[in-house]
Amino acid sequence: MSNDTLVEEIKESLVTETDLTFLRQLDTETLEKIHKELHDYIARTEELQKPVFKVMAVSTQFIPNFIIAKLAHDYLTPYIIAQVVIYMDPKAAAKIGKSLRIDYMGQVAIYANPEITARIGNLMEPPLVTQVVKDLAQKNFFGKLGELADLLDDKVMIDIIKNLREGKMVGNIAHAMMNQEKLIRIIPHIPPEIRSGAKAQLMSLGNKIAERF
């Protein structure tokens, strides 16, 4: 794993918009130790919290969605909601998501596991998911966005790209994706004006997938 990737993962794990590029000056071995210690700490913390989040997930079955949304906005942090939805049925979580403010949903997605976000996102209206994607992109969480893009259904991803209408942003997301086969599948469905902007951005990043746009 390169120093750039390690720093990006550390930044996203800390969920911070602070510029951490100064960490790239460290040697790779030190960065790997920081990365591992941080992930181990997060894993230990989440393991201790699991029983509480499981109980909260069960309780959502008996509370109307608009009340859950009110509680979330006023009293619960996006991190808590991100942990609770892990233990919920994706359909139920998607219904609650429709009651949440878009900016709040974007914060939840920052903390959430991309696999969980994708399961829920596949069941929501594309314009809502697009706003969440845009929020993540504006905060430069492209590592997490790349994972999310890899996991979302092809049709949902195509609809999101059309709704984004920003070639540079699409290029940055494509650059962060690991599932190249999926990317190649959806490229023909991207409007020409978006494709040209995405291609230009990918070329500036030195990504050879630009040749397919």
- Residue 6, amino acid: L
Q: What is the pLDDT of residues 88-139, one digit of tens each?
A: 999 999 988 888 888 888 888 888 888 899 999 999 888 888 988 988 888 8
Q: From residue 78, give the alpha-carbon distance in Å to each of 7, 109, 201.
A: 23, 8, 31
For the record, the structure tokens of 144 come out as: 């997490």
Asked whether the beta carbons of 104 and 128 are under 8 A apart, the reply is: no
- The single residue listed with the structure tokens 């590029």 is 21
39 versus 120: which is more confidently predicted?
120
Q: Which fold has domain 1-124?
A: MgtE N-terminal fold (1.25.60)
Per-residue pLDDT, 183? 93
How many CB atoms are located within 10 Å of the residue 130 CB?
21
Q: What global pTM score does this model have?
A: 0.75
Nearest Cα neighbor of 9 from 157, 141, 150, 155 is 141
Domain residue extents for the chain: 1-124, 125-213
168 versus 25: which is more confidently predicted?
168
Q: What is the pLDDT of residues 50-102, one digit of tens each?
A: 898 898 989 888 888 889 888 889 888 888 999 999 999 999 999 888 888 88
Exposed/middle/buried for residue 111 (C-beta within 10 Å: 0-12, 13-18, 19+): middle
User: Could you tell me what percent of the chain has a pLDDT over 70?
Assistant: 100
For the record, the structure tokens of 74 come out as: 């006023």
